[in-house]
A and B are shown apart, each in its own frame.
Chain A
Amino acid sequence: MKITVGQGSCGIAAGAAKVSKALTDALSGSGIIPGITGCIGMCYLEPIVDVYEDDGRLHRLVKVSENDAETIADAVKSGDMTKLASLEISDEDKEFLAKQTRIALRHCGVLDPESIEEYISAGGYKSLEKVLKGETPEQVIETIKISGLAGRGGAGFPTWFKWNAARQSRCPEGGKKYLICNADEGDPGAFMDRAVIESDPHGLIEGMLIGAYAIGASEAVVYVRAEYPLAIVRLKKAIAQAEKAGYIGENILGTDFCCDFRIKAGAGAFVCGEETALIASLEGERGMPRLKPPFPAQKGYWQMPSNINNVETFANVAWIIENGGEAFAAMGTPDSKGTKVFALTGKIRRGGLVEIPMGKTLRDVIFDIGGGIKNDGTFKAVQMGGPSGGCIPAELLDTVIDYKKLSATGAIMGSGGMVVMDDSTCMVGMAKFFLDFTAKESCGKCVHCRIGTKRMQEILTRIVEGEGREGDIEALEELCSAIKEGALCGLGQTAPNPVLTTLKYFRNEYEAHIKDKTCPAHECRALLRYNIDSDKCKGCTLCARNCPAKAISGEVRKPHVIDQTLCIKCGQCAANCKFGAVSVK
């Protein structure tokens, strides 16, 4: 009998640590100590406790609270698993995982992230051994080429190509090559990389070591955002374990291959996810993008040949080595191979981490796996790729997940953020949200991004505040095209995408805000107008008594009215009215 409690940051936030402690207490004396795993991927069901019977049968308990500890302990001690029935995951929810194909996430929620033994017993570090003892770096690169693995950080650049460029790049005398992992996951709504590090740090380390071997790097660095403290703790622990076990350091596994490993915690700037800014930050400089060329493969960290890949990219590597490039390439579309992890959030019924083979449709992810819209709402759009991405509307739900097909919509694959929106989301407000983000996160270096995004944000702000004017859409379009052409780095160049795609698919919403001063989604407060229907109003006075602005007046048992000049549009009246007399336009 084995019990694990899913304790990624998401689980802990939902109370998993408390559940774990309560379980430990309840099970004391039974000889069973609850173990930990990382993120299982079903955020909406956290905390999750997995009870494995000795024959391997799994009872997955969801939305567990501390109060359930006794019940679980009782069942475990008595061996009567029917006692867990009320906590067990429903068949419908099981589908969430059952319909996925997990490669990058293969160990997430399964292994104890703090135990190298578990990783090794699951076949870990075998791939590293395989390449170090039996393959040349060129062969490794060839395998990766065959696999078709592309950068999972967003740009989708072929991984083998970067590795090969770094491999081919000559190292100045006395210098060394670097392999860097970009774990500065900054897109709002994206948490794939965090989950991988928290749940499978050794998987990342192994992938990186293989990469380091392939390019000839003797130092590997993980640049991880400081907002991921648990990921840093687990990764540190894993590095120490791997060092002790001889997977890191001098003459790894008795070969000539030497590689040091360390972590650098980023200081919170979004732009440091851009590879040249990341290098500047690593060097102790202000995180600002540098000009390319030279590319990092030529002159990167400390002007040395360097290769940078994102967490998810590395998380696939050991699997590819183990199973062969062809196995990976067997999944997906002609353009995009393998699987992709998405962080499914927003107005979705079942949110969490989803890994599926390329080639599935957005509908598969959102409806089949995600279960559609929360509270039976109507799907409006899905935002992909964070601040660099765009919105894909309902009519394009059958778009295939593939780098080229997604780019054709105006959105991008991105790092995998997938924010689902229903018809209560204002698309102008959504675009403003992302522009608020990019304007704030612009590093300030280039003119187009620093001032251009600010001006776009100002225009969007006035539109949602009902101050939009004729010509604003055109000004936005002009700025979008200029910023795309003129910004220095990828972040700036893609910053207009949220606006461009909403303008493409939801232009009518912009026009409604500007011309009619209405928000079709009823979300922009400044444009709302609450009214009391005098036929429906019974004069119960409930709205008037609870109006924080004292904007409602009327006599008892007579229809009430809202003074629009005082109304602060908080919606309390509509929420309180028992007769449905308050309407909002």
Chain B
Amino acid sequence: MITITINDKVCQCEDGEYILKVAKDNGIEIPNLCNDESVAVYGACGICQIEILDDGKGRALPKLCRACSTQAHDGYVVRYDTERVMRSRRVALELLMSDHSGDCLGPCKLNCPAGTDIQKYLKQISAGDYHGAVKTIKQAFPLPASIGRVCPHPCEKNCRRRHVDKPLSIAFLKSYAADKDLAENTYRAECKDDNGKSVAIVGGGPAGLTAAYFLRLQGYSVTVYDAMKKMGGMLRYGIPAYRLPKSIVDRECEEIEALGVKFVNECRIGADTTIEKLKDENDAVIVAVGAWKSMNMRVAGEELDGVVGGIDFLRNISSGEGVKPDLSGKKIAVCGGGNTAMDACRSAIRCGADKVYVIYRRTREEMPAEDIEIEESIEEGVEYKFLANPAEIIGEAGKVKKVKLQLMELGEPDASGRRSPKPIEGKFEELDVDVVIMAIGQSLNGNGTECLEKTKKGTISADEYTFMTSVDGVFAVGDATNRGASIAIEAIGEGNRCAQAVDNYLNGRPVAVKKPIVSRRKDEEIDFSGREKKERIVMPTRPAEERRKDFDEVNLGFDDEEKVKSEAKRCLECGCHDYEDCKLVRYANLCEINPERFSGKKNDNPIERRLVSIERNPNKCILCGLCVRVCDEVAGKGILGLVGRGFSTVIKPEFKDDSVISKCAECHKCADACPTGALKIIK
């Protein structure tokens, strides 16, 4: 027996044993991609490099060595993480990634701000496993029934199925599964044992609730403080019930509470408690207070009775506990083109308004609101005034009487790519109205957060990766921070990552939570021509005449389970089946590589299904040769071989001889050995 040290760990082994093996036997993982104990050493990947700092005789070896094929001798001092090794390993991984053409994750997941594993839960839904689907979703966030109803679904906008026919109905499939799950045998995650640490969360909206959920699962004692009567934040008080019934929010909040998260309502920061106090009483504080202040339009007449902020208007309705304001006989002007404007105008209709106008300074094309919202609002009787901007609100006896509109035209595209509106000089129009709703944006109500540094926009300044504010131990997420208000799922994603950051912080680990490094393909690189078209499921809705009278849910929900399953089956399964087990992407993240650093031409070879039950994607192959060697040395078949030279080398049946394939015994040892997702077992 001899003694060597690997990264300071003293290891005993036989003289001449390979260092990679010694490391493995001692529980040390030296990264490697082409090594497998069942076959002879090969040395292709160059990932397992090590530096021998002392050869036992006081000399350092001048060259880097491959751990897989370097023999251990007494007194060796080995490191696999020196700057020189890491640099070389990074380049090797970057080179591999530069010719690795595949999608670790589907564009749905990549574009979901919460990183929900959409492909996985769609598969579960397609198999009728709704409970499993909810479990999958809840690994990203705890509010699937709510979010499925209201999310503007960036996932669907980026769904590759749109290049074949139409994107999948991801959001509604989610709420379908969540409803089923809520109705029977609700999934509830296990919390880890209490760890004795506590976190206070200010704000019980999507961001706060999500952070609370994940911290509670980690065993923290979590208390959520909220100014309103009930939890849910904007989900409850901003989004009208016809889109998201309050009973759903109730149920999902109950589920969070059931895990042991403490809810303290009607507790306003700055008035009933302070951040400093919470910080003193807890190990960490997360500020997730949202953006509850409607922005002003800065026009004359805003002070008049009858001028109301969009979210104030919506909150007023939602807080009414079923009692809605009576707007019958009234004429309403809603200013703005976003989703809040939609919620406001459609709510106004439901409150019996005589006439509801939406005033927007550009055209329908440029409206940021969801198309379906505009569509349905028109069905419900909303009238649109495009290319018009409120210039003045004219009152009479302190009350709104008219709104004067400056007429606009579209000019050159601005920074956002939208054509910017310009006033047409001297052209105005007046509308008789009783109420003006300003739905042009929302901002932070800064009360109680004075102790935190703010951005130029007046939002709370929080680090992008650690979510830490200017005060140590105080984190901030969601609409209240940085760029300001965005969609719920964005706040939820931050809530999730912030929970990880807080967990890291309280355990002395590096705090930053970064998005994973992945391999991804551009849509234009993909040929969709061979895909069969399948119709997208349509969400049934109540007729406009009926639904405009009340706040009951517009969407009726899917009633045909088979249709739901077949909708889920439309998924193209863009994400790699092997993402969880792929060594390449694991090391890419471990070594924090830049996959684009050496980007260049990629090999593009057709996917092969020649082997009986194995699908081979040569574009994900990293030519580690494991399949070739395992087939030869372990399975004794020798079906596979390397063909061609240089960059275009590819693995094919030995000597390009298709007839050897008949020897395949379907042992799948090749697929098991593959370190990436190049080989897939197909049933």
Contact = CB atoms under 8 A, between A and B. Distances in A.
Contacts of B88: 482, 485-486
B645 A444 contact: yes
A291 B48 CA distance: 14
B601 A451 contact: no
B99 A451 contact: yes
B511 interface: no
Contact of A458 (B66, B597, B600): B600
Interface in B48-98: 49, 63-64, 66, 69, 71, 84, 87-88, 91-92, 95-96, 98
Contacts, number: 103
B528 interface: no
A455 B91 CA distance: 12
A537 B519 CA distance: 58
B646 A440 contact: yes
Interface stretch (B37-45, B501-509, B539-547): B37-45
Contacts of A452: 91, 95
Contact of B46 (A443, A447, A455): A447
A478 B91 contact: yes
Nearest to B646: A442
A443 B43 CA distance: 13
Nearest to A439: B646
Interface residues of B, number: 36
A418 interface: no
Nearest to A482: B91
B96 A451 contact: yes
A411 to B, nearest CB: 20
Given A291-B69, A448-B46, A455 B598 contact: yes
A447 B601 contact: no
Nearest to A478: B91
Contact of B91 (A293, A448, A450): A448
B647 A485 contact: no
Contacts of A293: 69, 71
A446 B44 contact: yes
A302 to B, nearest CB: 15
B487 interface: no
A444 B603 CA distance: 13
B647 A482 contact: no
A179 interface: no
Interface string A96-134: 000000000000000000000000000000000000000
A304 B534 CA distance: 63
B70 to A, nearest CB: 9
Interface string B91-126: 110011011000000000000000000000000000
Interface in B632-662: 641-642, 644-647, 649
Contacts of B144: none
Q: Which of A269, A290, A442, A445 has the most CB of B within 10 A?
A: A445
B623 A450 contact: yes
B336 interface: no
Contacts of B44: 445-447, 488
A269 B645 contact: yes
B658 to A, nearest CB: 18
B337 interface: no
Given A451-B98, A455-B600, A486 B647 contact: no
B41 A454 contact: no
Contacts of A453: 646-647
B13 to A, nearest CB: 17
Given A450-B649, A482-B91, A482-B92, A444 B644 contact: yes
B625 interface: yes
Given A286-B641, A482-B87, A475 B598 contact: yes
Nearest to A462: B600
Given A286-B642, A482-B88, A482-B91, 19 more contacts: A286-B641, A441-B645, A442-B647, A443-B646, A444-B642, A451-B98, A451-B99, A451-B647, A452-B91, A452-B95, A455-B598, A475-B597, A482-B87, A485-B88, A486-B46, A486-B88, A486-B92, A488-B43, A488-B44
12 contacts: A286-B641, A291-B41, A291-B42, A291-B69, A442-B645, A442-B646, A445-B623, A447-B95, A450-B646, A450-B647, A482-B88, A482-B92
9 closest A-B pairs by beta carbon, nearest first, are A444-B649, A482-B91, A451-B95, A454-B647, A291-B69, A442-B646, A486-B46, A291-B43, A458-B600
